[in-house]
Structure 1
Amino acid sequence: MVQGVQIEVNDDDGIQYLINTNPATDQIISKVACTTLDELETKIVTSKTAQRKWRLKSPEDRVAVLQEALREVATVQDQLVKLMIQEMGKPIGEAEEELEFAINKDEYFHVLLESLQPQQYENSTVVRHPYGVVAVMSPWNFPVDEILLLALPSLASGNTVIVKPSEVVPETGALLVKTLQSKLPDGVLQLAQGAGDVGAALVQHPGVNLVAMTGSTATGKKILQSASTQLKRVILEMGGKDPMIVLEDANLESAAKDAVAYSLCNSGQVCCSIERIYVANSVYEQFQQLCAKEAASYKVGDGMDPSTKVGPLVSKLQQEQVQTQVQDALEKGAKKLYQSEAVPTTGSFYPVTVLSDVQLDMKLFSAETFGPVVAMTSFDGTEEQAVILANQTEYGLGSCVYTQDMAKAQRIAAMIDAGQVGINCYPLEGMDVQCPWVGHKQSGYGFHSGYAGFLQFSIPKTIVHKK
């Protein structure tokens, strides 16, 4: 995930400031002071002190407080939507959808509470023990939901939390955290602002007991290496290069619609975007036509415009990366089926682009793209080749298979090395709240969400009792 953030140092006091810029207009939104090392030290001490009382509350009481805090977030929903659009360019429809999903969590809290209950055995009881202080480092592409995905189970488990939002979306993160803080005991949830150096200081600090991060694989590796010196627990959800398999008996109209929608969602800036599409030879030509037609309905523009489906990329640096990958593919033989023309000249917009005949030796099919590109190629249509191609990556986050033969789909799904597989659907859509979100290979280390994921935010402790 390429960002590109400008930092300015105040000549009078030496404080660093994040230069917060609107990617649609290139205009400065604000200057946000970075948390100093001294301030970080104070926050960690405060977190440890607050955790001693917070952990004594029952899981039911902690969850009740968190539910009240989320209701408070609902009162600033419109402000959060506006900030998301300004800071990272998300189209208003997608921003509103993210907020709705993030704050409506009744069933979520039911499963979360279930995961925290003691397990009784004949002579033993297994209880959930909090780690202590959790550092949550969230990405810019889902600046509200990703904080909550990591902070809520941490807090419910009896930990205290320090959130460092991405330096790209500091105001969105600040408003969310401060709103939650208004309903939480002092010190239970805190905010740290800054770039990678602030995140690194959090990871390295001996007072932080668990690091939970969603972000790039490169950043995840750095966190893992740093945390290993203290045997510190980590939960890392990282990058992806998700494949889509379209077999000859698939519903091509439905598959093409999903191929375009989930390649372009959030301007393609999603760790589980569809980034590699493999289509059976016999239906390849028809599928290309369907995708090009579907992509032509996606308007590129400012996220504040309700008709916009694809907003700007998060930065000029990200724009350059996508352009480099597309150009590399075209020079090596890929074909341009469609590219939108009405693209704003200001900001970091990139046109919706549909490419065919994209091969593995092209950067577009090997490196994470994070842009509004639909990339496809053909294959022989066999199950064996479908599995080989899907697994021909260092990543393993999501994937999907389109066919009307359910037995065949299940066989392929069982052999794909990924945490989530959708059959005739995008796996993230419609997942049951009980299900974990998992990255295989270099897409994850630890995991979150669902009953099994919630258990990652506390450690089991066995109490043996003799009658």
Structure 2
Amino acid sequence: MSSTQTVQTPPLFAAPRRLGTHLVGGEEVAAAGERELTRADPATGEPAWTVVPATDAEVASAVDAAAEAARAWRRTPPAERAAALREAAAAVRAAADDLGSLLTATTGRLIGQARESAVVAADLLDEAATTGLGATGRTLAGAPATLDVVRREPHGVVAVVTPWNDPFPTAAGLLAAALITGNTVVHKPSERSAAPGWELARLIAGALPAGVLNVVNGDGGTGAALVADPRVALVAQVGSTAVGREIAARVGARGGRVLLENGGKDPIVVDAGVDPAWAAGQIALGAFTNTGQICTSVERVYLHEAVAEDVLGELVRIAEAMRVGDPADRATELGPLVDEVQLAVVDEHVSAALAAGAEALAGGSRRDGAGCFYPATVLDGCTADMAVMTEETFGPVAAVTRVADFDEALRLADAGRYGLAATVLTPDLAHALRAAEELEVGTVKVNAVFGGAPGGSADPRKDSGAGAGYGPDLLAAMTVLKTVHLEAAH
């Protein structure tokens, strides 16, 4: 543990399942608010968690602590900041099983995926500890008797607001980028995954000096108070487009800066000549992983008519064979949606599509019984005006449109208000290069719905946000530039 550390980290979240504390200035502070948020177990529908949102005064206190710690932390040598992040990574990796179980219990994510997401969070902390020691500025070609440099400096206090659907990697990536570059942080995890978010941040804070990382729990009201504080120089948010726009308006009105990664409606284009079974497997992976609740889930499917029947046959077979059930059971392949609110959105989108002429080849209606379960669904005959093709569904739904050729598929894939990511499955190199050039999205994936080497960066387009969401360019976005011109005294 670092010599400057004052935070004590007791055992992971224990019964009763009530989150009534915040982390402020290195101390766990009992929540003073009277409001309580009740969250249900997504697998049973029974009340399981209570969260006490931070009051405006508690949010201000957390910002106070971050502001007070900022001067010392920015002056901490980068190598020492990196060592702290590596220590935090080790703590997160050691707690991966407990963190995974907590995420499964609160959001319904499959236990194996939940644990792996905690490991990825640890990897991101380690990665930032390495990449954060890279170039911190540049020297300019000034006059021989002068020194001209451009310095990268921290913003100061950064607010990190993260979502519920993949909270460990999302939070770890943003927190690590802010911390390694010398910023102090106030973090607000989503109220839908408050307990996992709290535990992850608490483990990271355990490797840091008091006040460098503070955590406030709560809902939109808590977040609104945080982003409105004039001492918060930068807000980094991952979440819905609606919330992102509200944050941008609030922060912009006071002259602050924002980094936003928001909604997506990612397409997949399936070209002629692909292997139907492989293509169906890629679609299923993209549409059904985490019950379709990933920012870059496949939500629109454009099938070339030459392969459509065969691909759909394989996709339906996969969907109907998926084992739906308890997310804590490692044999389960499709768990519940996060809550009844999300279940209602999925059901509404699918029902409207069916009423407008789409055909359910698999699934198509919510499952009877307790819990927020919805079966893997394949809809054929979807049209561009359906909500299931235009708005975030965020559920296990593969909405399919058949197309006559690659040109039509590319045009439809590029349409709409979102521009987060897109996938193209094609054996044609010319088509792959066209897709990379023409698709107005932050990330283009060819012949794989997930994957990619470390070190990449992407700016989401359109309504999907603004500013690098990961990679070395995220580190740059966590800093501001200063030019220094130096001459010897005469």
TM range (shorter): over 0.9
1:129 equivalent to 2:153? Answer: yes
Matched-pair contact (CA < 8 Å) for 1:300–1:343 = no
Aligned to 1:276: 300
> Match for residue 155 of structure 1?
179
- The question of 1:460 aligning with 2:478 is answered no
Q: Is the 8 A contact 1:251 1:403 kept in 2?
A: no
Which residue of structure 1 lines up, in the alignment, with residue 105 of structure 2? Answer: 86
Instruction: Give, in angstroms, the shift of residue 110 of structure 1.
Output: 2.3
- The answer to whether the 8 Å contact 2:108/2:338 transfers is yes
User: 2:444 matched to 1:421?
Assistant: yes
Give the match for residue 271 of structure 2.
247
Shift of 1:433: 1.5
Matched, 1:30 2:54: no
Corresponding letter in the other structure for 1:198? T
Counterparts of 1:14 and 1:463 in 2: how far apart (Å)?
Answer: 47
For structure 2, the 5+ residue unaligned runs are 1-18, 21-31, 143-147
Q: Quote the residue 2:130 is aligned against.
A: 110
C-alpha displacement of 1:374? 1.2
Deviation at 1:412, TM superposition (A): 2.2
TM-score by length of 2: 0.89
Tell me how far 1:342 sits from its aligned partner: 11
Matched, 1:46 2:65: yes
Q: In structure 2, what residue type is equivalent to 1:407?
A: A
Q: Is the 8 A contact 2:435 2:444 kept in 1?
A: no
Match of 1:215 in 2: 239
Q: SS at the partner of 1:465?
A: strand
Q: CA RMSD in A?
A: 1.8
Other structure's SS at 2:421 match: coil
Matches within 5 A, 1:3-402: 15-105=34-124, 106-114=126-134, 116-123=135-142, 124-339=148-363, 343=367, 345-383=369-407, 385-402=408-425
Alignment partner, residue 4 of structure 1: none
Amino acid at match of 2:141: E
Report the CA distance between 1:179 and its aligned residue. 1.4
What is the count of residue pairs matched by the alignment?
453
CA drift at 1:42: 1.3
Q: Counterparts of 2:214 and 2:99 in 1: how far apart (Å)? A: 18
Look up the match of 2:12.
none
Give the CA deviation at 1:370.
Answer: 0.2
Which amino acid is 1:88 matched to? Answer: T
Q: What letter matches 1:377 in structure 2?
A: T
Output the CA distance in 2 between the equivalents of 1:64 and 1:108. 11
Match of 2:14?
none
CA contact (8 A) 1:20 1:169 kept: no
> 1:29, 1:459 → 2: CA distance?
43
Contact 1:401–1:413 under 8 Å retained in 2:
no
Please give the alpha-carbon distance, in whole angstroms, between the structure 1 residues aligned to 2:204 and 2:264: 31
When normalised by structure 1's length, the TM-score is 0.93
Q: Is the 8 A contact 2:110 2:330 kept in 1?
A: yes
Instruction: Give me the whole-angstrom Cα distance separating, in 2, the residues matched to 1:117 and 1:249.
Output: 47
Bigger drift between 141-150 and 457-466 goes to 457-466
Matched residues in 2 for 1:382 and 1:36: separation? 53
Give 1:112 deviation, angstroms: 3.0
SS of equivalent to 1:163: strand
Is structure 2 residue 472 aligned with structure 1 residue 451? yes
Moved more, 392-401 or 24-33: 24-33
2:461 — aligned with what?
A: 440
Shift of 1:43: 1.2
Distance 1:341 1:448, change over 3 A: closer
Q: Counterpart of 1:3?
A: none
**Percent identity of the aligned residues?**
35
Task: Give distance in 1, aligned partners of 2:123 and 2:468.
Answer: 22
CA distance in 2, matches of 1:110, 1:230: 34
SS at match of 1:82: helix
Q: Is the 8 A contact 2:157 2:183 kept in 1?
A: yes
Tell me by how many angstroms 1:422 deviates.
Answer: 0.8
Residue type of the alignment partner of 1:109: A
Instruction: Describe the superposition over 1:419-459 as per-residue Cα deviations: whole angstroms up to 9, x where unpaired.
Output: 11111111x41x22211133111101112211222211111
Secondary structure of residue in 2 paired with 1:234: strand
Q: Deviations over 1:313-360 (max 9, x none)?
A: 111111111011101111111111112999562111111111111111
